[in-house]
Amino acid sequence: MEMIIVVVIVALVLGIGYPSLSRASSILNLQAASRDVLNTFRYAREKAISEQTSMLLIISRSEGRFELANILGEPMRAYALPTGVSIQRMERAGNVVQEDIMIVRFAPNGNLENVSVRLASSGGSRRMQIVSDPLGGGARVAPVWDD
């Protein structure tokens, strides 16, 4: 009888705590994916500067994929978003990109276009945005508060 009570209590605790753990897991996945995408932007910029050639970052919304290529389009490195994280929105110069593919060009001097990529956790409840700095050539991760 005591064992049944212990099992019931454990089941209740797990039943109550699981949704919180699930939400925390999706937030952590989104934050990790945002950092990985930011690092992909940074790597593309460093590669363009070190090789003194333009680099392309090819972003596929449907595949959730970021592929670094040289100016000839030859692939060099790729990153795929983890399960549960998707590309929700892409913008270039403040305009929403409707196409599935967006290509970001990194110049040999380190400059890049004014772009942003919004990532969302499954269900779209949590969102993070990678925003470029065209003048400084860098990028940063920012939370999305409005829609």
Residue 5's CB is within 10 A of a number of other CB atoms, namely: 9
Res 34: pLDDT? 94
As a whole number of angstroms, the distance between CA 127 and CA 27 comes to 9
Instruction: Tell me the pLDDT tens digit for each residue of 21-38.
Output: 455 577 888 999 999 999
Distance CA 101, CA 99 (A): 6
What is the pLDDT at residue 97?
Answer: 95
Q: What is the pLDDT of residues 135-146, one digit of tens each?
A: 778 899 888 876
The tally of CA atoms less than 13 A away on the side-chain side of residue 73 is 1
The tally of domains found in the chain comes to: 1
CATH number at residue 20: 3.55.40.10
Question: Does the structure show a pLDDT above 90 at 108?
Answer: yes
**Contacts for 109-112: CB closer than 8 Å, 24+ residues apart:** 109/49, 109/137, 110/45, 110/48, 110/49, 110/137, 111/135, 111/137, 112/41, 112/44, 112/45, 112/137, 112/139
Residue span of the structural domain in which 63 resides: 2-143
